[in-house]
């Protein structure tokens, strides 16, 4: 779903779908060719940072 949302310029929904995937599988990653994609690459990186920040425990 995330890719469909990105292609249709619904970046917030795209990011939320990536976040769901990352919460289910923290090791989830894009294929090397998809990481640099101008539509979903940056959105995926934002989602990954958001999920990582939420799961970090305070020291």
The model's pLDDT over 3-14, given as tens digits with 9 standing for 90+, comes to 999 999 999 999
Chain centroid to Cα 12, Å, comes to 10
Domain extent for 41: 2-55
Residues 22-58 pLDDT 10s: 999 999 999 999 999 999 999 999 999 999 988 776 6
What's the confidence (pLDDT) of residue 18?
98
What's the confidence (pLDDT) of residue 59?
60
What's the confidence (pLDDT) of residue 57?
62
- Overall domain count for the chain: 1
Q: How many CA atoms lie within 13 A of 55 on its CB side?
A: 12
What's the confidence (pLDDT) of residue 20?
97
CA distance 14 to 42: 11
């Amino acid at each position: 779903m995330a890719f469909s949302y990105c292609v249709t310029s619904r970046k917030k929904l795209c990011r939320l779908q990536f976040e769901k995937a990352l919460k289910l599988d923290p090791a989830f990653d894009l294929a090397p060719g998809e990481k640099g994609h101008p539509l979903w690459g940056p959105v995926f990186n934002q989602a990954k940072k958001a999920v990582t920040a939420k799961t970090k425990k305070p020291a």
